[in-house]
């Protein structure tokens, strides 16, 4: 049975007058209630669906808002992670007929609640909208994952290091299956950027590597895996985020390269994906003057800035559709990123992206409470304004909606899953982090471990006994926890001491530990490797920059040399930091993933695989998927693409 629009508007009245019920309680939706539109009501004839939509619904079909945090019953800075549907969010879904939702880790900590949240979102949407939601998440595998109970996988650069594209296929297959199991249907993956810039602060290990052919081959296989799991894939970030030294979360990057160069590097994986029939392409908030040198005024000071790709008709329509022949759906990167917020403004940028020809908009505005709903109305008005001023047309809007509905139809998403929710939860419980998949995850992580340096006396494998003193220095406690667990699993002999090092100097307890050690395991973690300015960055938040230092790991390595003890340095993220340890005595290896154990749930397999290698329990086979420049000599490659030692 369907609830009419009238019922929703009276609900709106009720909500604004009533004392709100506490978060997590269900007013519209009791946990097992079903306010489903009859799934068989869904019309799979796209033209008649479009004919039945209002102008506003055509516009909102293009929006993918987030419901990441919600301040139920109020609106202040205490917005909390939204894990269960509440009346207010349900109301916004019922009221606006969105095309879909973008969900984040905050929404997806546990499997059962994720399934219910998504199910309830579909139900709320179905009150007024015949067309079910796209439910999208960034489950790339590696350092970017959203499903709390899901598998993390080693990530793209680790796959690149195995030189085995079958692992990209496996990753697509597994993450696609998990995304579908919770009721989501679209994965913003694989990352298809070619990481040619060692200073890239945001892509790094999310990329398969520095060679366009390597990236392309893996992208295509990853997409095969997703498709086989019936999950929509999306290559990103077009035209390429691999050669930037700025993160578009915090600034507006520029790729000032010639068209020839872009054609031979950045665009290669996107062309391969298009040839392989990719369904969706995500834009980058990046300036590409070779593709579009037109400007818009910045909201900071009115000065002209080059249009970022997301807002460029020349790039998103003329080039991507006209020249590259892409016929699928395009989507913006998140519109809450600084590249957009600081320079253009979210609502204006959403309108501009739409009139540039982009089909879907991720997080067009930041809505955290009922009083923010007016922001959606402003978005609708801004798009109408583009139409009335002739920058966009209803015909173009309908073509765009047609592409979105065609995609939904292709994946059978015009029908809601009407099977009992308990069955779906049971299936999801059994599917996420399946032991057979965990075994593949471990295998890939172990084969990816790349040893770039090893000394026969002070290197690996470590042979420890009951009298050995092993000191483990890691950037944070999530990693020490991961090492501790792995050492226990492998039943390694010796006394272990664990310490994190958010510090620069090797003094105090850290020095005492190092002085007593027979073996040291040292994690190194940087996003951009700038040892020359001692104090590269440890983490992606700008506030954290400078907390890490080159000097601590360097001092540890020096100490090991001086005391003639074994040392293994593990590069935990982008592998470029191995160049800092050119003169180390001992072993230096790359793991390509830094996430340890968080909340006892999240755990990446990379560091455990490195531990296994260090203690001789697995053989390293990895080969560098990028060149590693020397930090001591300019214009010198210390370890070239393809390099890796076998023990
Ligand atoms: C913020 O909103 C919540 C929910 O209504 C309320 O409990 C809390 O007191 C508010 N905090 C402030 C500082 O207003
Ligand atoms: C791009 O590079 C060209 C050639 O080096 C230079 O003339 C131009 O000013 C650069 N454009 C921008 C926006 O930096
Ligand atoms: C901008 O691009 C157009 C078309 O590619 C070109 O003709 C023009 O010279 C470019 N202008 C500048 C300032 O680079
Ligand atoms: C959302 O609403 C709150 C409370 O009315 C307001 O303080 C905040 O600025 C709004 N957010 C936006 C982005 O307009
Ligand atoms: C799913 O798993 C959770 C957590 O282990 C458990 O509490 C719940 O009962 C399971 N539900 C079903 C239907 O299997
Ligand atoms: C490092 O360890 C200390 C002591 O256990 C702990 O308080 C701190 O939160 C840890 N820091 C990190 C970044 O894990
Ligand atoms: C270690 O050295 C740093 C920098 O010289 C200093 O700030 C810190 O207090 C020292 N810590 C200990 C425990 O000696
Ligand atoms: C490398 O080049 C930079 C910039 O040109 C220069 O400042 C630095 O001294 C050079 N370093 C070495 C080791 O030659």
- As a whole-number percent, the residues of the chain with pLDDT over 90 amount to 80
Same domain, 421 and 467: no
Decide if 515 is inside a domain. yes
- What residue has token string 């040392």? 567
DSSP string, 556-609: HHHHHHHHT-EEEEEE-SSGGGGGGGTT-SSEEEE-S-----BTTTB--SHHHH
Which residue's alpha carbon is at the smallest distance from atom 1 of ligand 6? 500
- Ligand 2 centre distance from Cα of residue 74 (Å): 48
Query: Is the confidence at residue 549, as pLDDT, over 60?
Result: no
Residue 30 has a pLDDT of: 40
Give SS3 for 140.
Answer: coil
Which residue's alpha carbon is at the smallest distance from atom 3 of ligand 6? 500
Atom of ligand 4 nearest to the CA of 372: 1
Number of Cβ within 10 Å of residue 91's Cβ equals 21
Give SS3 for 403.
Answer: helix
Q: Which ligand is nearest to the CA of 21?
A: 1
Atom of ligand 7 nearest to the CA of 508: 13
Which residue's alpha carbon is at the smallest distance from atom 6 of ligand 5? 112
Decide if 478 is inside a domain. yes
pLDDT in tens, 180-239: 999 999 999 999 999 999 888 789 999 999 999 999 999 999 999 999 999 999 999 999
- Ligand 4 centre distance from Cα of residue 373 (Å): 9
Is residue 426 in contact with ligand 5, taking CB distance under 6 Å?
yes
Same domain, 322 and 352: yes
Decide if 141 is inside a domain. yes
80-81 and 69-70 strand pairing = antiparallel
2-6, 155-159, 413-417, range with greatest mean pLDDT: 155-159
Query: Is the confidence at residue 523, as pLDDT, over 60?
Result: yes
Atom of ligand 6 nearest to the CA of 475: 13
What residue numbers bound the domain in which 206 lies? 60-431
- Ligand 4 centre distance from Cα of residue 272 (Å): 43
d(CA 100, CA 132): 8
Atom of ligand 1 nearest to the CA of 74: 5
Q: Which ligand is nearest to the CA of 501?
A: 6
Q: Which ligand is nearest to the CA of 635?
A: 8
Same domain, 297 and 346: yes
Residue 622 has a pLDDT of: 98
Decide if 587 is inside a domain. yes
Catalytic residues: 249, 333
Tell me which residues have their CB closer than 6 angstroms to ligand 4. Answer: 75, 366, 368-369, 371-372, 375
**Domains: count for the chain:** 2
Is residue 634 in contact with ligand 8, taking CB distance under 6 Å?
yes
CATH number at residue 249: 3.20.20.300
Of the residues 383, 401, 431, which one is the last residue of a structural domain?
Answer: 431
Same domain, 455 and 393: no
Same domain, 417 and 500: no
Of the residues 402, 431, 460, which one is the last residue of a structural domain?
Answer: 431
Tell me which residues have their CB closer than 6 angstroms to ligand 2. Answer: 254, 256, 289
Decide if 228 is inside a domain. yes
Atom of ligand 6 nearest to the CA of 502: 13
pLDDT in tens, 366-387: 999 999 999 999 999 999 999 9
Residue 56 has a pLDDT of: 98
Mean pLDDT of 58-63: 98
Same domain, 480 and 397: no
Is residue 512 in contact with ligand 7, taking CB distance under 6 Å?
no
Q: Which helix (H) or strand (E) holds 10?
A: helix 5-17
Same domain, 425 and 466: no
Mean pLDDT of 79-85: 93
> When comparing pLDDT for 525 and 609, which is higher?
609
- Ligand 6 centre distance from Cα of residue 583 (Å): 29
- Ligand 6 centre distance from Cα of residue 557 (Å): 22
pLDDT in tens, 332-374: 999 999 889 999 999 999 999 999 999 999 999 999 999 999 9
Same domain, 279 and 416: yes
Which residue's alpha carbon is at the smallest distance from atom 14 of ligand 1? 76
Band (78; pLDDT cuts 50, 70, 90): confident
Residue 529 has a pLDDT of: 74
Atom of ligand 7 nearest to the CA of 509: 13
DSSP string, 155-185: -HHHHHHHT-THHHHHHHHHHHHHHHHTT--
d(CA 432, CA 179): 9
Q: Which ligand is nearest to the CA of 257?
A: 2
Same domain, 271 and 122: yes
Residue 531 has a pLDDT of: 55
Q: Which residue of 634, 635, 638 sits with most ligand 8 atoms within 8 Å of its CB, as the best mutation to test the pocket? A: 634
Band (248; pLDDT cuts 50, 70, 90): confident
Query: Is the confidence at residue 75, as pLDDT, over 60?
Result: yes
On average, the pLDDT of the chain sits at 90
Same domain, 481 and 415: no
Contacts of 406 (CB under 8 A, 6+ apart): 46
pLDDT in tens, 463-514: 999 999 999 999 888 999 999 999 999 999 999 999 988 667 789 999 999 9
Mean pLDDT of 430-456: 97
Which residue's alpha carbon is at the smallest distance from atom 13 of ligand 1? 76
Same domain, 415 and 536: no
Question: Which two structure tokens, joined as six digits, stand for 142?
Answer: 């590696």
Query: Is the confidence at residue 536, as pLDDT, over 50?
Result: no
Band (6; pLDDT cuts 50, 70, 90): very low
Query: Is the confidence at residue 24, as pLDDT, over 50?
Result: no
pLDDT in tens, 147-162: 999 999 999 999 999 9
469-474 and 519-524 strand pairing = parallel
Same domain, 458 and 419: no
Which residue's alpha carbon is at the smallest distance from atom 9 of ligand 6? 477
Q: Which residue of 31, 110, 112 sits with most ligand 5 atoms within 8 Å of its CB, as the best mutation to test the pocket? A: 112
Decide if 180 is inside a domain. yes
Q: Alpha-carbon dihedral of residues 447, 451, 455, 457, nearest 10 degrees?
A: -30
Residue 530 has a pLDDT of: 65
Band (8; pLDDT cuts 50, 70, 90): very low
Residue 177 has a pLDDT of: 98
C-alpha pair distances (Å), 589 with each of 199, 337, 549, 551, 593: 19, 34, 19, 19, 12
Contact (CB, 8 A) for 517 and 469: yes
- Ligand 6 centre distance from Cα of residue 494 (Å): 23
Mean pLDDT of 76-103: 93
Q: Which residue of 289, 298, 304 sits with most ligand 2 atoms within 8 Å of its CB, as the best mutation to test the pocket? A: 289
Give SS3 for 496.
Answer: strand
- Ligand 6 centre distance from Cα of residue 103 (Å): 30
Q: Alpha-carbon dihedral of residues 85, 91, 94, 100, nearest 10 degrees?
A: -50
C-alpha pair distances (Å), 440 with each of 94, 161, 445: 41, 15, 9
Residue 244 has a pLDDT of: 86
Residue 626 has a pLDDT of: 98
d(CA 583, CA 585): 7
- Ligand 6 centre distance from Cα of residue 500 (Å): 6
Query: Is the confidence at residue 34, as pLDDT, over 50?
Result: no
Q: Which residue of 499, 502, 507 sits with most ligand 7 atoms within 8 Å of its CB, as the best mutation to test the pocket? A: 507
- Ligand 2 centre distance from Cα of residue 256 (Å): 6
Decide if 246 is inside a domain. yes
DSSP string, 322-374: IIT---SEEEPSPTTSHHHHTTT-HHHHHHHHHHTT--BEES-S---SGGGGH
- Ligand 5 centre distance from Cα of residue 205 (Å): 34
d(CA 358, CA 331): 6
Mean pLDDT of 548-575: 90
Residue 43 has a pLDDT of: 57
Length of the chain: 647
d(CA 186, CA 171): 15
Query: Is the confidence at residue 47, as pLDDT, over 50?
Result: yes
Decide if 150 is inside a domain. yes
Atom of ligand 8 nearest to the CA of 632: 13
Closest listed residue to residue 361, CA positions, set 53, 65, 57, 55: 65
Give SS3 for 287.
Answer: strand
Band (42; pLDDT cuts 50, 70, 90): low
Q: Which residue of 372, 373, 377, 378 sits with most ligand 4 atoms within 8 Å of its CB, as the best mutation to test the pocket? A: 372
CATH number at residue 548: 3.40.50.1700
């Amino acid at each position: 049975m369907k609830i009419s629009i009238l019922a929703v508007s009276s609900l709106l009245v009720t909500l604004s007058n009533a004392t709100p019920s506490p978060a997590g309680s269900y007013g519209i939706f009791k946990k097992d209630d079903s306010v489903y539109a009859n799934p068989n009501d869904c019309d799979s004839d796209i033209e008649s669906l479009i004919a039945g939509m209002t102008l506003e619904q055509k516009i909102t079909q293009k929006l993918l808002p987030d419901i990441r945090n919600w301040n139920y019953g109020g609106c202040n800075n205490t917005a909390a992670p939204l894990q269960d549907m509440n009346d207010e969010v349900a109301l916004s879904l019922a009221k606006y007929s969105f095309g879909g939702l973008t969900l984040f880790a905050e929404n997806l900590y546990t499997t059962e609640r994720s399934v219910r949240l998504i199910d309830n979102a579909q139900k709320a949407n179905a009150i007024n909208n015949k067309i079910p939601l796209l439910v999208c998440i960034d489950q790339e595998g590696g350092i970017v994952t959203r499903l709390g109970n899901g598998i993390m996988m080693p990530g793209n650069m680790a796959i690149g290091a195995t030189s085995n594209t079958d692992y990209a296929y496996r990753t697509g297959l597994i993450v696609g299956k998990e995304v579908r199991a919770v009721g989501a249907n679209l994965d913003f993956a694989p990352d298809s950027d070619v990481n040619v810039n060692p200073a890239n602060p945001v892509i790094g290990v999310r990329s398969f590597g520095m060679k366009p052919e390597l990236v392309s081959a893996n992208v295509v296989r990853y997409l095969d895996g997703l498709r086989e799991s019936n999950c929509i894939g999306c290559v990103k970030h077009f035209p390429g985020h691999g050669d930037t030294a700025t993160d578009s979360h915090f600034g507006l990057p520029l790729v000032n390269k010639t068209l020839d160069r872009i054609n031979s590097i950045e665009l290669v994986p996107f062309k391969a994906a298009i040839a392989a029939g990719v369904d969706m392409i995500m834009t980058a908030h990046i300036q590409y003057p070779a593709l579009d040198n037109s400007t818009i005024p910045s909201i900071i000071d009115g000065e002209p800035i080059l249009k970022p790709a997301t807002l460029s008709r020349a790039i998103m329509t003329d080039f991507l559709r006209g020249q590259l022949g892409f016929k699928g759906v395009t989507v913006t990167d998140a519109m809450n990123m600084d590249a957009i917020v600081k320079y253009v403004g979210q609502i204006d940028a959403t309108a501009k992206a739409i009139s540039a020809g982009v089909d879907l908009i991720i997080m067009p505005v930041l809505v955290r409470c009922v009083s923010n709903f007016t922001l959606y109305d402003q978005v609708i008005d801004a798009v109408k304004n583009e139409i009335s001023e002739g920058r966009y047309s209803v015909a173009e809007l309908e073509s765009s909606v047609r592409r979105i509905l065609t995609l939904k139809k292709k994946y059978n998403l015009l029908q809601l899953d009407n099977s009992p929710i308990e069955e779906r939860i049971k299936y999801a419980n059994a599917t996420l982090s399946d032991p057979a998949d965990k075994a593949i995850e471990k295998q890939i992580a172990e084969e990816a471990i790349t040893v770039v340096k090893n000394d026969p006396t002070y290197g690996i494998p470590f042979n420890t006994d009951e009298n050995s003193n092993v000191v483990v220095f890691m950037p944070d406690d999530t990693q020490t926890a991961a090492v501790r667990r792995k050492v226990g699993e492998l039943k390694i002999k010796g006394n272990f001491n664990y310490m994190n090092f958010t510090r620069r100097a090797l003094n105090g307890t850290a020095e005492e530990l190092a002085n007593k050690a027979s073996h040291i395991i040292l994690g190194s973690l940087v996003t951009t490797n700038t040892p020359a300015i001692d104090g590269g960055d440890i983490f992606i938040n700008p506030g954290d920059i400078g907390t890490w230092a080159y000097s601590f790991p360097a001092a540890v390595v020096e100490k090991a040399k001086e005391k003639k003890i074994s040392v293994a340095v593990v590069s935990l993220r982008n592998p470029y930091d191995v160049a800092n340890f050119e003169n180390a005595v001992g072993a230096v290896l790359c793991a390509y993933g830094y996430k340890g154990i968080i909340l006892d749930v999240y755990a990446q397999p990379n560091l455990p695989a490195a531990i296994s290698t260090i203690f001789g329990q697995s053989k390293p086979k990895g080969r560098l998927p990028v060149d590693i420049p020397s930090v001591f000599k300019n214009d010198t490659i210390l370890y070239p693409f393809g390099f890796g030692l076998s023990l």
